[in-house]
A = this chain, B = another copy of it.
Amino acid sequence: MKNIFKQGAISAAFIAESIEKHKSKMNIGGHSIFLGQVRADKINDKEVMAIEYSAYEDMALEKMHLIREGIFEKYELTCLHVYHSLGQVKAGEISLFVFASSVHRKAAIDACEEIVERIKSELPVWGKEIFDNQSYQWKENSK
C-alpha cells in the first residue's frame, strides 16, 4: 500500500520534483493539482499559528487505496499522487497535495476535485488548530 503521509509541511521543491518527473510521460496532456494551505484564521481574537495533523494511519492508507481504485475505475487517469502532512504545519504552508494527470484535461480536473472531497470526508485524519497563545481547538471541515 502506498504511503501518503509526510512528516511536516509539503514543500514547493517537492511539488516541483513531482511535476518534473512527469516530463517523461509523453502521453499526458493535462495535470490538475490541488494544494491545501493552512490558513491563519482568527477565532475569538486568537490566530491560528499552525495545524497539527494526526491520523489513524493504517485505516487511512487502506481507505486511500480504495479511493484510488474507485477513481481509476471512474476516470481515465495516467497517474495519481496524494500526499498529506502529519504533525505540525505552520500557517501559509501546504498540508495536502493532490496531483492527477490524464491524456485529456477533463479526466484529470474532475478526478482531482473528487479525490479532494473524498480525502476530506473519508480519511481518518484530524487537524488541531494551534493558536498563537498555545491554546488549541479541533478543526472542523466545512462541506
Contact = CB atoms under 8 A, between A and B. Distances in A.
A19 interface: yes
Copies per assembly: 2
A17 interface: yes
A28 B92 CA distance: 8
Interface residues of A, number: 38
A79 B81 CA distance: 25
Q: Is the interface of A mostly helix, strand, loop or mixed?
A: mixed
Contacts of A32: 32-35, 112
17 contacts: A15-B15, A19-B35, A22-B37, A22-B92, A24-B92, A26-B92, A27-B39, A29-B39, A31-B34, A31-B35, A32-B32, A32-B112, A36-B105, A39-B103, A104-B142, A109-B112, A113-B113
